[in-house]
Chains A and B, each alone.
Chain A
């Protein structure tokens, strides 16, 4: 069953059409990838889903409930949590406090799904940051900051995680580690919707890929089929002469 149902989602910034009516349905407990060239509307899609921007038109249904244009904190509390392209943290606070804040404010336990973790320490252990729990977040290197970003999102107890380019700016080694982490989410009942540019990585991880270009969906399906789609290769590699 589709957990997140997006229909006819459209977002205009002044004259710029960032999303021109997108339909996507995202089932839970799977990894879905969203790809597309720069400016194709991937991040705008996340921002509109997560309540950072209000859509111009269209609907976002989360578990049958209309969450279109609801404020960001309500959407997060409903179990739909996103991370950011720029590794975001609460830079002046300790790593433990970062995660703890999310634990205290994310989806609360009574409304069904109990958190998979009982404490911030367990989440730090899950993402492999235990040894850095006392560090000030802003003083950490970039790779750890990315990990922390995911730990904070997990703290909010999501059932679907929207990851916006989690591997951007990481070394090969770090990004492999991170992807191994992402692969573990469906096993513990957290669905993932992932934006990234690394095609090799995306086709290895995702069960289904959605391709956006100029705010419209141009292809959708299993990775090997999508990546051989003529429209997709045209977008990425240009027209044959």
Chain B
């Protein structure tokens, strides 16, 4: 009689990865200092955070012009969605190529609430977040049964289906033309119709999102997600309810996308189904892989590269797609942890040489 064995185990695959590549994927932590449940940032991390914050706040002083400032705003809300995707892919190992769908849920929630009930940005924001999270949780249910590329196909299908639903929703979703939304209601007399104010609103949202991501990744919640990513069978065997963890991270990720979606809707003032189709979704996946999903600034770097590259190099849309493809290949082959991990390794190498 043949012995019945359990499913092939994921750590066999991990053993095939050379140790140096493993450390490249997972640059060791520079700090192990902790306060209760939270890992505290190291001195280096604080320096980088200050630089990033200073750059984002100071960006308008570089006189970027109207075009670059609006591109920066687009990059900002895309990055917010990417932080959700980065969390689910980088920490829990669940990739999605239909992530724009959840931005769409957020945007359309805002659009429908504005059009039908006259609810503005601030009133619609919680609804966008909740609906996106709920849909993400619902679409995540198959992830309990299938994983890896099989689940990726499901996310792609959902995105395509939702696109059809948006296009054929009649007056409810505005059909192929989409919906108009108003402008964001002023708060404390700040008028967000001014591009500069809109920029700072996005930067504030991005800071909040970076902070939440840091807290989630460096707490026991992040550790639990990594455990599920690394070895689900073992995670269950030590008492982790892997199903709950997976759905929870997908819902958190959906909530981020919801925020990004409503910000996008109110920035563009008009939403249409094509914004949330499979193509924008693939771009999100591309950005998160280019930037790297496991380090805090990975998604931001990915968003900046993909948004600004064609602009700086004066590429037309077709050329830029070719450029993205080449970038993705180069990153997958040479920098498996993304550009962010590559930069970190470069920094470490230079630093250790100097000492």
Contacts and interface: CB of A to CB of B under 8 A. Distances in A.
Nearest to B93: A92
Contacts of B28: 94, 134, 136
B12 A76 contact: no
A43 interface: yes
Interface residues of A, number: 45
Contacts of B6: 43, 47, 52
A89 B237 CA distance: 11
Most B CB contacts (10 A, CB to CB) among A84, A100, A134, A138 go to A138
B15 A88 contact: no
Contacts of B12: 86
Nearest to B23: A136
Contact of B11 (A77, A82, A86): A86
Contacts of A82: 237
Given A94-B28, A138-B17, A38 B22 contact: no
B2 interface: yes
A226 interface: no
A81 B236 CA distance: 10
Q: Do most interface residues of chain A lie in helix, strand or loop, or is the interface mixed?
A: mixed
B54 interface: no
A105 B235 CA distance: 9
B3 A152 contact: no
B326 to A, nearest CB: 28
A106 B28 CA distance: 25
B1 A91 contact: no
A214 interface: yes
A16 to B, nearest CB: 7
Interface residues of B, number: 37
Interface in B209-228: 220, 223-224, 226-227
Contacts of A138: 11, 14-15, 17, 19, 22
A146 to B, nearest CB: 12
Contacts of A147: none
A219 to B, nearest CB: 19
Contacts of A152: 234, 238
Find the residue from B4, B233, B239 having the highest chain A CB count within 10 A: B239
A239 B224 CA distance: 52
A80 to B, nearest CB: 10
B241 interface: yes
Interface of B: 1-6, 9-12, 14-15, 17, 19, 22-23, 25-26, 28, 220, 223-224, 226-227, 229-231, 233-242
5 contacts: A18-B4, A77-B239, A88-B11, A93-B26, A156-B238
